[in-house]
A and B are shown apart, each in its own frame.
Chain A
């Protein structure tokens, strides 16, 4: 994320400072949680005075100061890792094997390793703080050996705490992948940071206690079976002896020590709580609304203005914050809205509005395109493929499973064929249209309909005969007309190559390709019969639908921003700059509405996700598609209620006019 050229100022000037502030706050809060941990670890109801004296002496000792410095270092490291690994678009695994791939990604392994090491460090600090029998790794053996020499013996209690810290750290980082802990979501309502923090504090405490309970349970089970391995290794590498008089801890009687279990649980809770705190503070700080200037009088500040920032791709959070700011300004601030509607001083062009509306419309068109291609992939379900490649016969479930892999790469959404294609259409001619697209056509994951979309549909093609639903036929060409439409309104030079060049060879595969196709099918058939493979490769229900809407928050803000601006333009737009784009805004919203409606008719798309149990992992990405559907409808209603009968004067196609009439009559 540091590599980006134009968004770099934001990372340097804002993001880093926000991250630093969040880490600083979590370090500042560390003494409080440490004190609570000390009190809980020394808890004795019968001797409160003794307990108090113990706590004070521990907190003021030199060892605890050292361990505190160490813990602060751990917190800073955790904060740094959070900053490096956070994402605003959740990565949704569509199958078990994809999840496995995420877990075994080298970057992820590094993350887990770091957390494991930090867990050991925290475990050591806990052991030192607790004191008593946990304090040292080695002690003088009570018995002399045969030669009458005193030896150092391994303190298994200490080792247990160290291992537990490492285990909890590891399991925290692994669970983080499954629960999407590094996904940063934006809140429903704006609140002050302190209030946000105060509200989320009980949740963090509850989550860490619950998570610590499960982790300790798993750890104790693991230690019971495999505890002798690390113990023997420790003894060997540090040339320590085992105390034969002490009871070994990897036995039932050794582990069923209530005070030991309590201390294990408390230290795991402490570890998780301090890390969750860091995570929460980071989320709160980094998602705080940032107010971008709409226009600036100085040219050097122009890249920091909203219209420019909106079109940035890296870092992704910059785009999200810009869209959030757009939606906030469109709702709450008339003075900034007036800047959006203003004309440039020499020339009188509405540059601000053009840039903003163009970016929002391209976002919407992007989503529409993604939905349409996904829908057609699922709806045609391999039937067209069998025609286009001759001997392709697949069971429907299998084909949908593999084809979904194409759409199930949320992190690489920008690289899926459809979006690459669309982006180049919407964002102007940075590259020839067909060149990024051609390799995808030949890739096994490219959907047949996509190939169809790239070539103009002629009635004579074999594809034409197979399509059962008339929608597919009607929609496909129309979509292109919108994207050209939005472009025509957005940027003055309309690219001549809005329709891609036809690819006639895609319908006539060569002999070699056909051979490979057959081989691949045979391998697939063979694999499909094995249980484990099927288990790993079957797609999780509704995950592909979630993945499609993974960055839905951006679209929600774009819809909000556009609709509020259009609503405000009814009274505030003095020069009528919005009127020129109103037809394309309406038609792209209606197109998206149509695509979303059709998407929700698919199985699993409208099924609600199961309420997750207590966890800090944000599950709001699972419901983004519902939020988007509601926002879209509200956005269209906002425009129709504001303009009312005036909308009849807007240039729209007959079908859209009909649709709009439904909205005007409140029948949607």
Chain B
């Protein structure tokens, strides 16, 4: 089932993908005004912070405080290790036995925690490295655009930039609000609240921020009182968040915390859902019908939660952790990619949320639906190798286009990161067909992508490039299904579709074959 060979060859240098029309991807060479809608954030225009939090803290620490005050502050900030550290550091003021004793306990604690982290190696990473490791964004730490979120109902979107600010663009208004907050650091993910005009959840290094940006307000800098801070001890850094499609609950996940949090945002209260295995939660994805949640862990294990009674199903993987996943629009099918493997798997769920029993009646094993192993294309500019590990997956809200961001290899010049797009069909049987590659300007690689949630004429893929440019690639096609209105639990009506017959011949995967 080698699949990338069936793809049309990549574009020659200098050509960029513009759109899909009449079943083929169109390209153009004029990069300057190819898409007037695209935004550009040059790296030079951003004012970056050069200092880290710990260094500034040392500069401002008031050393005239008494030992008691400092100890109390250390206890408050860092708990027991912080207190012990403080006592050991100020060994001139405390009795010798106390300093030595606390030093010993501290060493013991560190030894135990190192033992713990040998079980889960990700615990030794610093929080920035951890976000970079588990983020859906390719090469997150170097990325100008760190997160991107379309509003689920309107044409506005939010962009999180390297300088820890978030900008909101709305085609209907001239103001672009810039959101800044003291706690808004290292944004790993953003998502707008469904069924709401204003709430934007932001996963930050130490907390989850929920901004309430009034769409009618003319203020360009909403104050930080517009943001709710949701934090829980030991729940940092937050690498993934997911709103329930009904807008009632917010999930947040941190690789450091074995429990994922279910937030009631308005009440600022949370319910931890703890499962110890796996050592943390890295990535969350809520199915569009609201019935299931995918939660992947840093180990070779992921879980699929059922949202009625919040029970879960364990899915051990063979090779590595689950890197990314996406749900079909009716919530019945989950596609996921595993780190270290070059294939896409599919799981099918019997989408009957009516069952009173809370146990999942899921599938027994995942099926391989696409093989994206390395393939060499001979182009005019030389050989180009495409394929490899998968960074992220995105499925358009109608279930007709699947975009796959392939990691590539930064060391090898002719193996760039690239987006491969598949045509998909979910009914009556699940099928994958090749569509093409989405490429940008030469030397620029895709970092992050997202489909527009309600594009009228097909699908609209938004790609953030490493140059800081955000471009939109529309896929024009006639939809086969009626637009989904987001009814949870109700089966969507599907009409029989007419399709050109020639695609069936080059189909990559159908359920009939496997």
Contacts and interface: CB of A to CB of B under 8 A. Distances in A.
A437 to B, nearest CB: 34
A332 B196 contact: no
B246 interface: yes
Contacts of B489: 331-334, 568
A624 B266 CA distance: 8
Interface stretch (B303-311, B398-406, B417-425): B303-311
A597 to B, nearest CB: 13
A667 interface: yes
Interface in B236-269: 246-249, 262, 264-269
A627 B264 contact: yes
B21 interface: no
A652 B274 CA distance: 48
B268 A608 contact: yes
A571 interface: yes
Contact of A620 (B153, B248, B269, B274): B269
B266 A623 contact: yes
A634 B265 CA distance: 13
Interface string A651-668: 000000000000000111
A637 B310 CA distance: 26
**Majority DSSP secondary structure for residues of B touching A:** loop
B487 interface: yes
Contacts of A331: 246, 488-489
Contacts of A624: 267
Nearest to A629: B266
Interface in A149-201: 187-192, 195, 199
A630 B195 CA distance: 10
B309 A191 contact: yes
B222 interface: no
B195 A641 contact: yes
A191 B195 CA distance: 25
B14 to A, nearest CB: 40
Nearest to B275: A195
A142 B490 CA distance: 83
A623 B247 contact: no
Contacts of A187: 271
B272 interface: yes
A641 B153 contact: yes
B513 interface: no
Nearest to A335: B354
Interface string A25-58: 0000000000000000000000000000000000
A456 B197 CA distance: 38
A188 B266 contact: no
A626 interface: yes
Given A188-B249, A188-B262, A190-B310, A570 B269 contact: no
A189 B197 contact: no
A190 B486 CA distance: 22
Contact of B310 (A189, A627, A628): A189
A192 B309 contact: yes
Nearest to A611: B268
B490 A568 contact: yes
Contact of B308 (A332, A626, A666): A332
A621 B439 CA distance: 53
B490 A634 contact: no
A contact residues, range: 35 or more
B320 interface: no
B274 A199 contact: yes
B354 A192 contact: no
Contact of A634 (B151, B195, B309): B195
A631 interface: yes
A253 B353 CA distance: 67
Contact of A666 (B197, B265, B309): B197
Contacts of B269: 188, 620, 623
B102 to A, nearest CB: 20
Contacts of B485: 570, 641-642
B455 to A, nearest CB: 16
Interface in B364-401: none
Interface centre among A189, A192, A631, A667 (most CB of B within 10 A): A189
Interface string A322-357: 000000000111110000000000000000000000
B216 interface: yes
Contacts of B490: 334, 568, 571-572
B266 A637 contact: no
A288 to B, nearest CB: 11
A567 interface: yes
A331 B198 CA distance: 24
A241 interface: no
Contact of A332 (B272, B274, B354): B354
**Majority DSSP secondary structure for residues of A touching B:** helix
A570 B486 CA distance: 11
Interface in A249-292: 291
B491 to A, nearest CB: 8
B497 to A, nearest CB: 20
B353 A332 contact: yes
Contact of B354 (A333, A628, A642): A333
A638 interface: yes
Nearest to A625: B266
B215 interface: yes
A642 B487 contact: yes
A611 to B, nearest CB: 9
A633 interface: yes
B342 to A, nearest CB: 37
B457 to A, nearest CB: 18
A335 B310 CA distance: 21
Interface centre among A624, A628, A629, A633 (most CB of B within 10 A): A633
Contacts of A629: 266
Contacts of A627: 264, 266-267
B308 A631 contact: no
Contact of B215 (A188, A631, A633, A667): A667
A119 to B, nearest CB: 31
Interface in B180-219: 195-198, 215-216
Contacts of B154: 666
A638 B246 contact: yes
B486 A188 contact: no
A623 B267 contact: yes
A557 to B, nearest CB: 12
B113 interface: no
B295 to A, nearest CB: 14
Given A189-B271, A190-B309, A199-B274, A568 B265 contact: no
B271 A192 contact: no
B66 to A, nearest CB: 24
A192 B262 contact: no
A332 B151 CA distance: 25
A334 B215 CA distance: 35
Contacts of B198: 668
A623 B195 CA distance: 21
B358 interface: yes
B300 to A, nearest CB: 25
B208 to A, nearest CB: 15
A188 B487 contact: no
Contacts of A199: 271-272, 274
A637 B488 contact: no
B266 A626 contact: yes
B39 to A, nearest CB: 21
B276 to A, nearest CB: 12
Contact of A568 (B273, B308, B487): B487
Among all A-B residue pairs, the 6 with the closest Cβ atoms: A630-B266, A623-B267, A637-B195, A666-B197, A626-B266, A627-B266
Given A189-B273, A564-B488, A626-B268, 12 more contacts: A190-B310, A192-B309, A199-B274, A332-B488, A568-B487, A571-B493, A626-B267, A629-B266, A631-B248, A666-B151, A667-B197, A668-B197
20 contacts: A189-B262, A189-B271, A189-B273, A190-B309, A191-B273, A191-B309, A199-B272, A331-B489, A332-B308, A332-B353, A332-B354, A332-B488, A333-B489, A571-B490, A572-B490, A623-B269, A624-B267, A626-B268, A628-B266, A631-B266
